[in-house]
Structure 1
Amino acid sequence: MLLAALVDAGADPRVVADAVAALDVPGLAVRTRPARRGGFACLRAHVEQPSVPDHARRLPQVLALLAAARLAPDVARFARRVFELLAEAEAQVHGTAPEQVHFHEVGAHDALADVVGCAAALADLGLLAAGAQVTCSALAAGNGHVDSAHGQLPVPVPAVLRIAARHGLALVAGELTGERTTPTGAALVAAVATPGPMAAMTVRAVGVGGGSRDTAEGPNITRVVLGEALDVPSAAVSGEVVVVESTVDDLDPRLWPSVLEALRAAGAWDCWTIGTVGRRGRPGRLVTALCAAEVRPAVADVLLRHTTTLGVRWSVQRRTTLPRRVVTVAVGPPGREQYVPVKIADVPGGEVTVQPELADAERAARALGWPVRQVCAAAISNYLREPPARAVPRQPPGHT
């Protein structure tokens, strides 16, 4: 759906076709055609399957295939990042290393064509260029169950939840049945966009991509809006945040990491615990989560199901946040570069704070064999020394 929406918004279908052909899989191709979903005109993307047999692949095999393809550097880099995100999410789900994950559906020929096609379309539209602003709204997760290589799974599937939790993507079940956001779709969005409202801009193009099903519950579409950013001065932003909390004094302390992980998966932007002492001197933990109003019921449900608490408190509070953006910085020797997102916040008075995303720094440290602190120091130094390869202005989650 995203690929079709990008082409409908103006990406050259010949550029997309050439990128997919560069994978050198005989018969693998992407075609688009007009369609209608829920009464809306849209474009449908169809992957033509090759005659050669397909098989499950591990991450190194997928990356080797991408490295051998004649792809533009920014296209190859983006496609590689998408599959790395997928492998990291699946590894967390199955308790293994990313390199050992068996890609089934997401490593098949059609998924390869989808990811490479989206990468080429994004590059053709200038959305992988330095200074491009890419934001995304909440993703429609769907509901029910879906069949997979591991049997029947609940929607959203575990890999989608892992990607959403790590990258702060908001998920909304909605009324549409079935799987509406796949792991590949979530990874594509996480690799290019940051969650937040549509930026202030002059709209230049709109693309609408349709899914395979035309359901009665509502239009099964993805929409892309392109435009030129308006010159809006940066300033501290005020908004509302929902605070959900509970005091627990009888939970096995070994379970707290899983509680915090479940809160993130439910849509909390941040969560933590602090030690407390109750009225009778019993030690306990105060668990707090910050979230949007839309996901407050899901966050509260996690606390009720994953802890021993008998009740949950919540309130709406005002907050002020600094404007921030995320840039991708290369770290490591030539030929072995790892890409680490670095969060930049604009402080009043013209100063900035620079902080690498720790989870990505840890991943880069494993790949390079460096200490994590060395990766963080190199990312900060490289950012301060030269302009970043890609900058994505980012509003705080929940900003309106």
Structure 2
Amino acid sequence: MNGTRPAAHLDCTAGVAGDMLLGALLDAGAGTGAVVDAVRSLKVPGLDVSVGRARRGGFACARVTVSRPASPDRARHLADVLDLLAGADGVTPAAARVARRTFELLAAAEGRAHGTAPDRVHFHEVGAYDALADVVGCAAALDDLGLLAEHAVVTCSPLAAGSGAVRCAHGTMPVPVPAVLHLAAGAGLELAGGDLPGERTTPTGAALVAAVAAPRPMPPMTVRAVGTGGGSRDTPDRPNITRVVLGETTGASSGPVEGDVVVLESTVDDLDPRFWPSVLDALRAAGAWDCWTTGVIGRHGRPGRVVTALCSQQMRRAVTDALLLHTSTLGVRWTTYRRATLPRRGALVSIGPAQRPEGVLVKTAERPDGTVTAQPELSDAERAAASLGWPLRTVCEAVMDRWHRDQPSADAPGPDGPDA
């Protein structure tokens, strides 16, 4: 598509959380009234948002505060959240789609982390209220800025992961937490490691970015506004902020994103073959984008396996350590290649009986001509088939039929193609 297009680049190099992104969007010019009205239309007594000014690491920024209802601690499931969104008359259809997609991605990631179906995932109440306000507020702000239009371009930087550990409802977890890793893997987001202390990217922040942005460098644009949102902590060594750069760009629809990929390999001929599934799981948990093994004949004619892992430069050390820890190898080799990848997103589709639906993640990719191709996540489809007692083919057909029907007419997808 030629001509001027509204554009935004999400600068998450210091991290991103829902309140930080919302603050940045408001600071960039989104209407406070539109955000407040959208959150209040959820009709949750006591749930509200306000915005003030703060300084983080010496930089001025917008600071969003969420007021929560005082109620007993209980869990909300995805269906509860989607019901609230469906009844929110102050949320536009475009904003509602983004909010729904964000929570579906978040539930799918949490489900993978805990080994449960997305529909069974529960959001603990305090976190659920914060996430509701942040997600609905961000969706309303994006819509108010015109960034949910079909021709808008929204990109994002690598997301700062942070380091150390963080306490959550399930105990003390290493940073980045599992849900953030699964969100990054599903959407092709790049996580930047380093020595930034604490949790710099939260699951809600990562889900919002995955729902609306393509992981690519900032395109050439005429800059019209810059917004800065601050987090709850002030870290003088690195400002705890998320920035949004708004403007207009020209040119065609988003195409392939070029970047580096590290390929790590090791040849192993003395590992019990029953251990390989757990090895591959450990590599993915350490930050590998993908990994596999290939059969070879090694020294002295012994059969063995070459294990290969793909990851970012920032995660190379962690994946190397996982290879050395979980296999019997004595060394790892690696090289760096250039690669081109298509912008990817995901949406959760529910099928089956209304009283017990099954959620299946559909992964989409935007082709250089602007068409969108989609495929269901096979592991989700297999789980749904087992639960519903349906053939796998029937599940995949039902998922894609539902996904096509859920698409707004302006965003009609092209023919289905292979997973990107």
- 1:394 corresponds to which residue? none
Alpha-carbon offset, residue 314 of structure 1? 0.8
- 2:377 corresponds to which residue? 359
- 2:48 corresponds to which residue? 29
Instruction: Give the letter for the 1:112 counterpart.
Output: L
Conserved? CA contact 1:365–1:371, under 8 Å: no
Answer yes or no: is 1:371 the counterpart of 2:394. Answer: yes
Alpha-carbon offset, residue 68 of structure 1? 2.0
1:131-173 CA-partner distances (Å, limit 9, x unpaired): 2222211111222222222222222222222222222222223
Q: Secondary structure at the match of 2:411?
A: coil
- 2:317 corresponds to which residue? 297
Conserved? CA contact 2:376–2:396, under 8 Å: no
TM-score normalised by L of structure 2 = 0.79
CA distance in 2, matches of 1:343, 1:327: 7
- 1:66 corresponds to which residue? 85
Alpha-carbon offset, residue 96 of structure 1? 1.9
Alignment of 1:182-197 (within 5 A): 182-197=202-217
CA distance in 1, matches of 2:93, 2:235: 39
- 2:201 corresponds to which residue? 181
- 1:123 corresponds to which residue? 143
Task: Report the count of equivalent residues.
Answer: 385
CA distance in 2, matches of 1:108, 1:303: 37
Q: Secondary structure at the match of 1:30?
A: strand
CA distance in 1, matches of 2:96, 2:360: 14
Alpha-carbon offset, residue 240 of structure 1? 4.5
CA distance in 2, matches of 1:38, 1:213: 10
Conserved? CA contact 1:37–1:221, under 8 Å: yes
Do the aligned partners of residues 200 and 302 (structure 1) sit closer, same or farther apart at CA in structure 2, a change above 3 Å counting? farther
CA distance in 2, matches of 1:227, 1:360: 38
Q: Secondary structure at the match of 1:213?
A: coil
CA distance in 2, matches of 1:32, 1:278: 63
Do the aligned partners of residues 259 and 223 (structure 1) sit closer, same or farther apart at CA in structure 2, a change above 3 Å counting? farther
Conserved? CA contact 1:132–1:390, under 8 Å: no
Select 2:28's aligned residue among 9, 12, 15: 9
Alpha-carbon offset, residue 344 of structure 1? 3.8
1:350-378 CA-partner distances (Å, limit 9, x unpaired): 8x996424428956994997735525875
Alpha-carbon offset, residue 332 of structure 1? 9.4
- 1:77 corresponds to which residue? 97
- 1:156 corresponds to which residue? 176
Alignment of 1:89-100 (within 5 A): 89-100=109-120
Alignment of 1:266-285 (within 5 A): 266-285=286-305
Answer yes or no: is 1:220 the counterpart of 2:240. Answer: yes
Moved more, 364-373 or 131-140: 364-373
- 1:20 corresponds to which residue? 39
Do the aligned partners of residues 338 and 388 (structure 1) sit closer, same or farther apart at CA in structure 2, a change above 3 Å counting? farther
Alpha-carbon offset, residue 208 of structure 1? 0.6
Q: Secondary structure at the match of 1:280?
A: helix
- 1:256 corresponds to which residue? 276
Do the aligned partners of residues 374 and 159 (structure 1) sit closer, same or farther apart at CA in structure 2, a change above 3 Å counting? same
Uncovered stretches (5+) of structure 1, i.e. residues with no partner: 392-396
Moved more, 65-74 or 364-373: 364-373
1:305-341 CA-partner distances (Å, limit 9, x unpaired): 232221100123345x47x4457899899x9999844
Instruction: Give the letter for the 2:83 counterpart.
Output: A
Alignment of 1:294-333 (within 5 A): 294-319=314-339, 321=340, 324-326=342-344
Instruction: Give the letter for the 1:356 counterpart.
Output: A
Q: Secondary structure at the match of 1:50?
A: coil
Instruction: Give the letter for the 1:371 counterpart.
Output: T
Q: Secondary structure at the match of 1:308?
A: coil
Q: Secondary structure at the match of 2:308?
A: strand
Q: Secondary structure at the match of 2:276?
A: helix
Alpha-carbon offset, residue 23 of structure 1? 0.7
Alpha-carbon offset, residue 256 of structure 1? 3.2
Alpha-carbon offset, residue 294 of structure 1? 2.9
CA distance in 2, matches of 1:163, 1:30: 26
Do the aligned partners of residues 191 and 17 (structure 1) sit closer, same or farther apart at CA in structure 2, a change above 3 Å counting? same
- 1:205 corresponds to which residue? 225
- 2:75 corresponds to which residue? 56
Alpha-carbon offset, residue 66 of structure 1? 1.8
CA distance in 1, matches of 2:181, 2:254: 32
Q: Percent identity?
A: 60
Answer yes or no: is 1:343 the counterpart of 2:365. Answer: yes
Moved more, 183-192 or 17-26: 183-192
TM-score normalised by L of structure 1 = 0.83
CA distance in 1, matches of 2:254, 2:141: 30
Uncovered stretches (5+) of structure 2, i.e. residues with no partner: 1-19, 415-419
Instruction: Give the letter for the 2:54 counterpart.
Output: A
CA distance in 2, matches of 1:237, 1:64: 36
Do the aligned partners of residues 8 and 329 (structure 1) sit closer, same or farther apart at CA in structure 2, a change above 3 Å counting? same
Alpha-carbon offset, residue 130 of structure 1? 0.9
Do the aligned partners of residues 16 and 238 (structure 1) sit closer, same or farther apart at CA in structure 2, a change above 3 Å counting? closer
Alpha-carbon offset, residue 128 of structure 1? 2.0
